[in-house]
Structure 1
Amino acid sequence: MVFLSDREHKQKRVLITGADGFTGQHLSLALSEEGFTVVGVGGKHTENPSVIPCDLTNKNNTMEVVGKIRPEYVIHLAAVSFVGESDIESFYKVNLFGTINLLEALACCQPSPQKIIIASSANVYGNPRVDTIDESVCPAPVNHYANSKLAMEHMVRTWFDRLPIIIARPFNYTGPGQSERFLIPKIVGHFKRKEKKISLGNLDISRDFSDVQDVVESYKRLLISEIRSLTVNICSGNAIPLIEIIKIMNKISGYEIIVETDPEFVRLNEIKSLKGSNQLLKRLINFVPETSYEGILQRIYRY
């Protein structure tokens, strides 16, 4: 696979939406260190002074902000991503219509961006009856978050002939700084505080987790490649049962926590297992997430 040279991408403007979020902060730092001029936009009420406020659900505001930035590269991370979010409409307003507004604004830029990465989610696959999920598996979302992302994907593909777009489907990933609303930070947080017990939902689940640093590296390599009009998984290719995560944390922390099941945390449409294939990703960018699960958990625990 052909990559742009260092000279071709150094100092070029990359727009990161959702730059004030978990992934956005890690990505902004990594691309800045790589030599890009990073311009981050966040929600209309962002508290980060280095991030430009932009309400992607407002077409005029999006047109105005994007028109001023005129980015050469774009990574679109902004989304309502917490599956348990109770405001159902927000999934579609932000994830679908916000993306439509962004692409319409980018299409008006002169010159057009050299590459746009749209972050979708492996949740679009739902509960497929296969052990390992590659990009040929037909999506079958089981919640509004995933459904909004799949609707977004279908819409984005209508722009493939007009803009240089890659749709990325990251599987679960985590790292230092992620909110304890998410499973892994919640578990590690309990151990860091030496709590005696933890209440969880579905215990019979397995997930393909990656380190956020590996996901960021994948985004960076996709960004500077000549790939376009493609959908690709970002994953480690290995799924770990939830109970194994607890066992690793018992070892790291030096004590055993008591695990209880709380019915309030049990999701009726819970995806039982998500394990992805990263073979296409490896062929495209010669890189796949490889940080061990213990290494990921150690990094968060020591943060």
Structure 2
Amino acid sequence: YQAPEAYVQTNVVGTQNVAAACLRHGARLVHTSTSEVYGTARTVPITEEHPLQPQSPYSASKIGADMAALAHWHSFELPVVVVRPFNTYGPRQSARAVIPTILAQLHSGARQIRLGSTTPTRDFTFATDTAEGFLAAARSEAALGRVLNLGTGREISIGDLAHRLIAASGREAEVVTDPGRLRPGGSEVERLLSDNRLARELTGWQPRVTLDQGLRETSAWVAAHLDAFAPGRYQV
């Protein structure tokens, strides 16, 4: 929201540059999209045919990037697969994401966990599962020219997630809403829940790490690397 032009340059122009380079060098392109391109779910679970809704400058730029990548498949026969991860999380995730935000507050001793809206739901996929999905997409001839969702097919609200993280951390805290962390009303994506059947069918991929397993591993990593976070500051 603070630098929308930078997202256009990085995601749209950047994808055009990468696709052109792949074309020159005879490389296959596995393009990273995002579930954010779907916006708030109109129907669930979300298939790859769900309408694209640019509810933020970021999602708009990723929609443009997806189209640039696929245009190279249609126009130049560049081997392209578009992969749409649903809320990847795990050790080493950016401090501005919701899971490390909550864990950093917990492991710093906070008794109140400050969040934006707690009602939206997300489909959280552990980093190793997402990585395996990318590798499976890269190996699959059947996936060329296609869009694939990488998600677990399960959703959880941010509020319920916070309570699961409190349990995973072994701490005690309450969840409070911080108005400064709320997104603009029209841009808040209220529900994301993947339909991952196409990825399963075309690549043989399936997620393996349960949410509780992933949260415990991520909690342990954040606790061991707390100096990498600024728990009292909202990361933008």
1:210 corresponds to 2:128: no
Structure number having the greater helix percentage: 2
Partner of 2:46: 133
1:287 corresponds to 2:205: yes
Aligned identity (percent) is 27
Partner of 2:229: none
CA distance in 2 between counterparts of 1:195 and 1:180 reads 16
Residue identity in the other structure for 1:270: E
For residues 68-110 of structure 1, give each alpha carbon's deviation from its aligned partner in whole angstroms, at most 9, with x where no partner exists.
xxxxxxxxxxxxxxxxx5111001001000111111222222x
Partner of 1:232: 148
Partner of 1:192: 107
CA distance in 1 between counterparts of 2:33 and 2:154 reads 20
Alignment of 1:1-303 (within 5 A): 85-109=1-25, 112-113=26-27, 115-161=28-74, 162-226=77-141, 227-267=143-183, 268=185, 269-303=187-221
Partner of 1:32: none
Residue 176 of structure 2 aligns to a residue whose secondary structure is: strand
4+ residue stretches of structure 1 with deviation over 6 A?
none
Residue identity in the other structure for 1:300: T
CA distance in 1 between counterparts of 2:216 and 2:99 reads 12
Maintained 8 Å contact 1:128/1:140: no
Residue 72 of structure 2 aligns to a residue whose secondary structure is: coil
CA distance in 1 between counterparts of 2:52 and 2:130 reads 21
Give the TM-score, by structure 1 length: 0.69
Maintained 8 Å contact 2:19/2:29: no
CA distance in 2 between counterparts of 1:252 and 1:103 reads 41
| Aligned-pair CA distance for 1:176 | 0.3
CA distance in 1 between counterparts of 2:128 and 2:96 reads 20
**What 5-or-longer segments of structure 2 have no aligned partner?**
222-236
Residue identity in the other structure for 1:275: L
| Aligned-pair CA distance for 1:208 | 0.2
CA distance in 2 between counterparts of 1:190 and 1:138 reads 36
| Aligned-pair CA distance for 1:291 | 1.4
Maintained 8 Å contact 1:210/1:290: no
Maintained 8 Å contact 2:103/2:169: no
| Greater RCO, CA 8 A, separation 6+ | 2
| Aligned residues between the structures | 216
Residue 294 of structure 1 aligns to a residue whose secondary structure is: helix
For residues 149-186 of structure 1, give each alpha carbon's deviation from its aligned partner in whole angstroms, at most 9, with x where no partner exists.
11111222211142100011111011101122110111
**What 5-or-longer segments of structure 1 have no aligned partner?**
1-84
CA distance in 2 between counterparts of 1:137 and 1:229 reads 17
CA distance in 2 between counterparts of 1:214 and 1:207 reads 16
CA distance in 1 between counterparts of 2:101 and 2:219 reads 11
Maintained 8 Å contact 1:120/1:153: yes
CA distance in 2 between counterparts of 1:118 and 1:249 reads 31
For residues 233-282 of structure 1, give each alpha carbon's deviation from its aligned partner in whole angstroms, at most 9, with x where no partner exists.
11111011112212222222333212111111111221111001001111
Residue 169 of structure 1 aligns to a residue whose secondary structure is: strand
Maintained 8 Å contact 2:41/2:190: no
